[in-house]
Structure 1
Amino acid sequence: MNKMVEETVKNMMQPGERTREDYIGEDGLLYCGQCHEPKEAYFDQEKVGVLGIKKHPRECECRRQKRKEEEQYREQQRHEAVVRELKEHCFSDRSMKEWTFKNDKGLSENTVLAKLYVKDWETMKAENTGYLFWGAVGTGKSFLAGCIANALLEQEIEVRMNNFAEVLNDLSANFSEKNTYIKNLCRVPLLILDDFGMERGTEYGLEQIYAVIDGRYRSGKPLIATTNLTLQELKNPQDTAHARIYDRLLEMCVPVQFKGESFRKRTAQEKLGRMQKRIKEKMR
């Protein structure tokens, strides 16, 4: 029996394997030739009597560091795989994966608020608090919402970001599975509805919109929405159907205004300027 135990212990002695630099110390233990820490340790006398062997392996500093690096590498690989899969499910447009705070050019004054949402995520989740990004077209509402999504995804928190028109199209195309579809939208910890605007909504469309917003409200999970509607329009709806949607939305989300010129127009103007400059240089 002791031989079986001894063989088992020997098979576990990876940290105590000997290299050419290793040496036996005055205490009879194997020492690492690099860090000069022992790769072995003596059993207590009590255990020696039971096992019939005197020494057992231990990790020297070299081995500990190597093991930590291996563990960190495996953890990094696992983390990257999880985040990659979460992003695949979160975004319908691959370019949104690049909407990160790292790629933010600081053009929006609301970047601080977006970062604060990520920092205080646990509180936002517990209090069911979201944002309603409102303002003119091209002022960076969708981009900052995407930054929030990507930052949380990097923490392995599931987020789903959908264009609202796509949600309505999906509901119309899969009416028989409407409840399941809405349940899936309400399941994720954070839902982001991009380009929320239904001033021209049909009666059917408004019913679907309310079903999504109300379902999210009843799930007790936060919602972030972006819209080109003004806060005045949201607070003064044109009829009862819109009123119950907007009221529910404003109850869940803190309004955040986006001002300034359109980033898209600015980008287009910059591209035009660069092209004109190149043409002038070619013509010299």
Structure 2
Amino acid sequence: MLFKFPNAEKSPGDYMHEGILYCGHCKTPKSCRIEGIPALLPIFCKCSKESYQRMDEEMKRQRELAKIEKLKQGLHGAIYHKFVFEKDVRPDSNASLVSRGYVSNWEKMKEGNIGIMFSGDVGTGKTFYAACIANEIIEKYKNSVLMISVSEIINADISVKDELFEKISAVSLLILDDVGAERRTSYGYEQFENIINLRDLSGKPLVITTNLSIAEIRKPPDIAYSRAYDRIDRMCPQKLVLTGTSFRKRIAEQKRRKAMEILGEDCI
């Protein structure tokens, strides 16, 4: 059976010139002739090439967005998704500069297994900066991140916990939020030590946020936590102590003022 070559198809506005079909829109050839082949063979005109390139770029963009969306499933908390450097109200603070520098030098941080400890009182921005790092690493490097509180891991159902422990070892960056706030039980300690041990053995970076001071990490009141905290101290050589007005109080005040503008002072 002989192969039948396809003929170039003529669309409205197209025209023939010297035996070649031209696109009526971009005025470039839509066909060509090859010696020995009677058919007028189709080729891409300029606007068709550009159209396919746009389609290809859009498909790549959609694949990138889908990949990022999947990676962001590792952020266990809707609030984590909202924290980005663009919303930083203290861009000149040491915590902000170090966090941004950590992201800019992520490949070196990852290779050197260098983590960060964010320490400070409630509402000072520890979780905010940790989540900013998480979102930026996902967006910029397409690397996997697991950001989760220690309590959520400890209290997770056994079927979920197995998957979480696999991720603790596998992800490029593990961020443990609110270290020290978990229930102080023998089971809780055992699970916490397993988490830190797994991450330590993975040789990958760890970032933590905690209300505990650096002194409490190095000399914990509860001696049972000494070994795990000693590992954290080693795994997170970059330590940032955040102070100042509570982010939450500041946001609450901003909302109160906004409500006053809308409803009037007498209603607040």
TM over 0.5: yes
Cα root mean square deviation, aligned: 2.9
Shifted more, 267-276 versus 78-87: the winner is: 267-276
| Rounded Cα–Cα distance in structure 2 between residues aligned with 1:90 and 1:180 | 12
Paired with 1:38 and 1:225, the residues of 2 have a C-alpha distance of 61
Q: What is the 5 A alignment of 1:192-271?
A: 192-197=175-180, 201-238=184-221, 240-253=223-236, 254-271=238-255
Whole-angstrom distance in 1 between the partners of 2:259 and 2:60 = 46
Within the alignment, does 1:100 sit opposite 2:46 as a pair?
no
Alpha-carbon distance between aligned partners in 2 of 1:262 and 1:108, rounded to the nearest angstrom: 17
The 1:85/1:177 distance shift into structure 2, 3 A limit, reads closer
Farther-moved stretch of structure 1 (259-268 vs 116-125): 116-125
CA drift of 1:216 comes to 0.5
Equivalent residues in 2 for 1:4-15, closer than 5 Å? 4-6=3-5, 10=6
Change (3 A) 1:195 1:64: same
Distance (whole Å) between structure 1 residues aligned to residue 15 and residue 103 of structure 2:
53
Closer, same or farther: CA 106–59 of 1 in aligned 2, 3 Å: farther
Which residue matches 1:152?
Answer: 137
What is the CA–CA distance in structure 1 between the aligned matches of 2:59 and 2:182, rounded to whole Å? 50
* Corresponding pairs, count: 264
Between structure 1 and structure 2, the one with the greater Rg is 1
Secondary structure of 1:245's partner? helix
My pick for the range that moved more, 127-136 or 92-101, is 92-101
Sort the Cα spacing of 1:250 and 1:282 in 2 relative to 1 into closer, same or farther, 3 A: closer
Match of 1:31 in 2: 22
How far, CA to CA, are the matches of 1:180 and 1:281 in structure 2?
Answer: 53
Q: Distance in 1 between matches of 2:49 and 2:58?
A: 14
1:64-103 to structure 2, matched below 5 A, reads 64-87=49-72, 89-103=73-87
The separation in 2 between residues aligned to 1:220 and 1:76, in whole angstroms, is 32
The alpha-carbon deviation at position 53 of structure 1 amounts to: 4.2
- Distance in 2 (CA, whole Å) between partners of 1:182 and 1:81 is 24
CA-CA distance at 1:76 after TM superposition:
2.5
Letter in 2 for 1:232: A
For the residue of structure 1 that corresponds to 2:175, the secondary structure is: strand
Write the distance in 2 (CA, Å) between the matches of 1:242 and 1:213. Answer: 11
- Structure 1 partner of 2:12: 20
Unaligned residue ranges in structure 1 (runs of 5+): none
Equivalent residue, structure 2, for 1:167: 153
State how far apart, in whole Å, the 1-side matches of 2:134 and 2:24 are: 49
Give the conservation status (yes or no) of the 8 Å contact 1:183–1:215. Answer: no
Structure 1 residues 272 and 112, CA, compared in 2 at 3 Å: closer, same or farther?
A: same
Task: Give the match's secondary structure for 1:195.
Answer: strand
Residue 279 of structure 1, CA deviation: 4.2
Shift of 1:179: 6.2
Q: What stretches of structure 2 of length at least 5 have no aligned partner? A: none
Q: Identity over aligned residues, as a percent?
A: 36
Q: How does 1:182-193 map to 2 (within 5 A)?
A: 182-193=165-176
Residues 212-253 of structure 1 show CA distances to partners (whole Å, capped at 9, x for unaligned) of: 111101012211111111122223334653222122112212
TM-score by length of 1: 0.80
